[in-house]
Amino acid sequence: MINRALLQVLLLAGIGVNIAFLLINLRPDRPHLARKKHVKVLLRASDPRAKWMMQNELSEFAAAHDLDVQLVLAKDFDEVHDKLSEESKHPSGMLLADIDDEWSDDLRSEKAIRPIEDGAEKDEAPAALDEYLPEGISRARQDGKIWFLPKRAQVDVIAFLKPAVEDAFLKWEKYRKDIELALKEANGHGLPKGYELERNPESWDSYDIFVAAWTWAHEPAPWAEPVAANVPIGARMPPATVRPRLAFRTGRGEDAVRDLVSAFYRQSAKPPDLKDPLSPAVLDYLQWRALWKKHHLLAPECESKDGIESFGVNQLLHDRKVAYAPVNQPDAFWVHGGARRDADPGMRGPSDLTFAPEPVGASLEIDPKTGQPARQGRTFSFEEVHLWAVPVHSPDVALSWQLARFLTQRGLQLRETEAEGMLPIRKDLRTSYQVAFRVDWMQQVLHASYVQIFRGSGDLPSDLDAYEDKILAERDRVLAQPAVTLEAIREAARGQ
């Protein structure tokens, strides 16, 4: 009896199996057994980048995993932090979030995120991590666990116009006496002994910037606005104008603080020096700033009351109003233009745009014995690493892991870099960027960035928030007074 029942069950199972295979034959592509799952991905990205990611990355993953992905955009990482905190209290199906390394500790301590390795198979996560660059790995691994997957890196480099540098190289001697006089007023000496302007901005220091900026500020610039006017070839160009052509971020925002502090680091500052308003590195840089201001070497927009931030600097470069300014990778791609078919129009004559690491800091003060700068600094720029993090209540942590891995695979990092501009965080792309990225200017952006990281880069001080207002106040005090000697700068910095 039991035997008969067993046989009947087996027969029914067999029929069931065949019906199942028949159904599979109707739609052999998988998986469409259930309704699409709705998930959210939190991104700090501009609208064009978010749109590009949705079209070229997320839609493919969503189709393969039967997902309905909704992008949640944040304008900065503070907002990302707030949204993740909210998600931890009121889960809404957030699968993955884009954070930067500065927020990683806070989010972990607030228990707003969970280790990304929770979604990986055993031993899968450590093996996967080997694909990323060391600076990404060090940030991804915390307290013996893999909390994040590196997303991309970002570092400031210098963008400059080649014809502007050629112009400065050819004409600066005309202004040597004036330059010497201006410097003598500040350091009692003038230019360093045997000074010559370096041909290539890759090896410029503070003096080279001053000399070039002086020349630009006094010479008509046929390579600037006339080219931007985009007159027909062979037609008469608009007259060349004279204006300061140097730009830095001079406002009070995050970028301006980063610019200022990295300039201190280029003068050899160490983190404790930032809290000391009278440290030589801080005073050295502020003395240069005072000198630029006195002689109107910075673009007027930078010298305006509120100063300017990244967007303003990028716009000046884009319009060829300045010749030398810091940019990060996405900014560089925006300024140049032409990275993808639907990109914003870039600058006119973009083949003039080139990139180099940040300049080496040097003190204005000259060592009387050697005739050389008393304090020589280095090139330096803060490296920011963006990470993929998993919200603590992710609806499917294994899927979170898979999505982060999908988004950081070689092909997509390469395409995203080419289309939107970023610094890839994968080892294979760093070692092969000169082959993988075949367009000259993109290679130059990446080359300058990797050289910058190699020669001098580091993390932003973790406690900078606590004293950045003091630093900005010190800068404002120094620049509010007209004197340029080190003693005067010290007095102003001291607040007297």
Instruction: Please give the size of the binding site for another protein, defined by CB under 8 A.
Output: 32
When asked if residue 411 is in the footprint of another protein (CB under 8 A), the reply is yes
Query: Could you say which residues in the range 91-110 bind another protein, by CB under 8 A?
Result: none
Write the single-letter amino acid at 221: A
Tokens representing residue 176 in the block: 């040597």
Q: Single out the segment in contact with another protein by CB under 8 A; choices: 16-24, 309-317, 366-374, 470-478.
A: 16-24
Residue from the set 1, 2, 30, 482 that interacts with another protein by CB under 8 A:
30
Task: Verify binding: residue 21, another protein, rule CB under 8 A.
Answer: yes
Q: Does 173 bind another protein (CB under 8 A)?
A: no
Q: Cα–Cα distances in Å, from 453 out to 100, 153, 381?
A: 17, 10, 8
Please give the backbone phi and psi of residue 199, each rounded to the nearest 5 degrees, phi first: -70, -35
Identify the residue among 6, 51, 60, 111 touching another protein (CB under 8 A): 60
Interface segment toward another protein; rule CB under 8 A; list 105-113, 138-146, 290-298, 412-420: 412-420
Residue 236 binds to another protein (criterion: CB under 8 A): no
CA-wise closest residue to 309 among 247, 389, 226, 227 = 247
**One residue of 6, 9, 20, 237 binding another protein per CB under 8 A:** 20
Tell me whether residue 188 or residue 350 sits nearer to another protein (CB atom): 350
Does 439 contact another protein by CB under 8 A? yes
Q: Which is nearer to another protein, 271 or 346 (CB)?
A: 346
Using the rule CB under 8 A, give the single segment among 12-20, 129-137, 297-305, 373-381 that binds another protein.
12-20
Could you tell me the smallest distance in angstroms from the CB atom of residue 121 to another protein?
12
Q: Should residue 438 be labelled a site residue for another protein when binding is judged by CB under 8 A?
A: yes
Least gap, CB of 462 to another protein (angstroms) = 38
Site string for another protein, 333-372 (x = CB under 8 A): -----x-xx---------x---------------------
Of 92-100, 201-209, 411-419, 454-462, the segment contacting another protein by CB under 8 A is 411-419
- With contact defined as beta carbons under 8 Å apart, do 312 and 321 qualify? no
Question: Per CB under 8 A, does 415 bind another protein?
Answer: yes
**Footprint of another protein on this chain (CB under 8 A)?**
7, 10-11, 14-15, 17-18, 20-22, 24-25, 28-31, 56, 60, 64, 233-234, 338, 340-341, 351, 411-412, 415, 418-419, 438-439
